[in-house]
Structures are given as structure tokens and as C-alpha cells.
Amino acid sequence: MTAGELQPQAWKRLLQCRERVPHALLLHGPQGVGKFELAELFAQLLLCERPQPEKPCGKCDACRWYVAGHHPDVRFVEPEALARRAPGEAEETEKPKGKPSSEIKIDQIRGLEDFVHIGSHRGGLRVAIVNPAEAMNAHASNALLKNLEEPPPGAVFVLVANRPARLLATVRSRCIQVAVSLPQPAAAGAWLEAQGVRDAARRLAFAGGAPRQAVEDAAGERSAFIDEALKTLAAGDFVRLGAPRDREALELLAEVLQKRAYDGVFAAFGLAPKYGTVQPGSRGAPRAWLAYARKLGHDRALARHPLNAALHATQMLSSWPV
């Protein structure tokens, strides 16, 4: 199943844009719904040399290069933390010093200058994908804005954003916006099963209906942490939960706690739990669960900053509704 089949409405809108390709597109929606995959598929379609009516052929030289990550007419602009290399860029022999940046910096946008202003290698378009666009710092945003105000001929900018409100209004106004919503549960479940995700329905529920996020939640240490945390919460063993090993584990713990709290609210009112962390009909005080869930919104933000992880975890658990 392709990203277009997973998100048929958004893909239909992109196909309409293909008839008269705009210089800038903004794909926006919740995290994990397949926006980036749509951006990649659309870029491949624009560069395909024998495109079919609604998808790239997958067989021409352009498609093979794109899939292999070597097409010379596409560039990805992403934070260092995502560790994607541009086609033809040599792999670093030395490890970078310090933690990779989570921002898109001005030098990365300026690095597109030659790419967007020099002719295409294949005589077609040139596509730059910025993901996630809200990761651009202020200087990078202003540098990109100059290209959007005076777009180079044959260049297409595809911005992918989880939080479009964080973008400059002037950037948003110069893009054709395409909303990407949560896919239908049946389509998302089928896609997850095709990806080999076990217990797809439960993973999709915990991810709030976002299939790409469900894939991440079902993988490796993240999957084990979520399952163990929910089991430990059910048993009331807060001592084990109060010792996360790092900030990443602390953030994940805060996420699990908040989703469990919201499910506590739904269940207390006789509604189906949204995140699948409790059984329908579970009892509890809805006001206490709601107050705790709101408090976790603040705690989750704090978990992203340097602090004593064990102390912060203890503080979160100390007000757990019982």
C-alpha cells in the first residue's frame, strides 16, 4: 500500500496540483500520518520520466535513482538529528561532536542556492523537501522566504509540517496548503499489517490513529518500554517507573502517563478509551484524571530539557490519581 492509497484525499489534492505545479507546497497535519511519505511520492512523480496517471512508473531511470536515494534533482533539508545525507554526499568518517541539532539552520537553506538556481540534471524540475518545516530557526525561515518570494524557475519546495502555526505567516501564505488528516482505521490497519506490525489495532490506538507513529511505537526499545510501563502502572509499581535511564525515556514515560490519564477520563464517562490503555468501563474519578492529564501537558514539555530524569519522573508519579 502506497502513501497515496493510505491518504487518498490528500493524494488527490496533490494530483490536482500536478496539473499546474506550484513553486511551494505545504503538507500539514498530525505527526505520524504519512505526510513525509506523501511528499516523497509526489516528488518521485514530478521527476518520473514515464509517469502513470496517478503514480510514478517505478521503472524509469529517474524512479530507480529516486528510490536508491541518488536522484540529482531532489534535496532533503532536515535537522541533523534525522541524519539523512543528500544524494552524492560522502559519509562522514568522524562522528559529530555533541548532540545532533534538532533545528534546521540557515546554512542548510543557503546550501540550496546552487541547487535551485542551476538547471536540472535531467531537464525537468528540481524538488527540495523541507521536513519538518517548523524545525527551521528564524534565520533559516527568512532565508527560505526569499526563495519563496522570488521562486527560481523549475524549482519546487515541498514543506512538511506537524505544527504549521509555528511557521512564519509569510511562509505559509506563499505555499499551496494540503491538509493531511488521520487515515481511516481500516486503511491504517491494513497498512500496518503490510509493514509487519503485530497487534496493529492496539498500536494504532496508542498512536492516536497515526500509522507512522504506530510503526515507531511497535519497534525495539520503544515498544518494550511502552508495554512494560502500562503493565507496571496497572500493577501500581511506581518504584520501577521512577527511574528512567535518560531524557528520551522520561519523555516517553510522560507520554504514556498522559495517554493513560485521558483514557481514564473517557472510561469514567462510559466512553471507549481513545488510546487503548485501559478496558472500556473502567472506573475512576473523571475530574481527577482530567486534571492530571492537563498537568502532564506541562510535564511533557519539561521532560525535553536537561534535568534530573529520576526526580522529574518521581514528581510526575507523585500526583497519580488513585
pLDDT digits (tens, 9 = 90+) for 90-125: 444 455 556 778 899 999 999 999 899 887 787 789
User: What is residue 163's predicted lDDT score, i.e. its pLDDT?
Assistant: 95
Contact 69, 30 (CB under 8 A): no
Report yes or no on 195 lying in a domain. Answer: no
pLDDT-based confidence at residue 87 (cuts at 50, 70, 90) = very low
Percentage of the chain modeled with pLDDT above 70: 94
For residue 270, what pLDDT is reported? 87
Average pLDDT score, the chain: 89
* HEC readout, 298-320: HHHHHCCCCCCHHHHHHHHHHCC
Judge whether residue 171 has pLDDT over 50: yes
Q: What pLDDT score was predicted for residue 306?
A: 59
Residue 213 within any structural domain of the chain = no
| pLDDT (0 to 100) of residue 83 | 58
Q: How many domains does the chain have?
A: 2
Pick from 158, 179, 200: which residue ends a domain?
A: 179
Least confident of 64-73, 79-88, 128-137: 79-88
Same domain, 136 and 69: yes
In a domain, 191, yes or no: no
* Structural domain span for residue 166: 3-179
Strands 176-179 and 155-161, bridge-based pairing: unpaired
Number of continuous H segments (helices) and E segments (strands) in the chain: 16, 5
Q: Does 163 share its domain with 233?
A: no
pLDDT over threshold 60, residue 88: no
Q: Residue 239: inside a domain, yes or no?
A: yes
Cell of 85: 545525507
Residue 81 CA, distance from chain mean position: 13
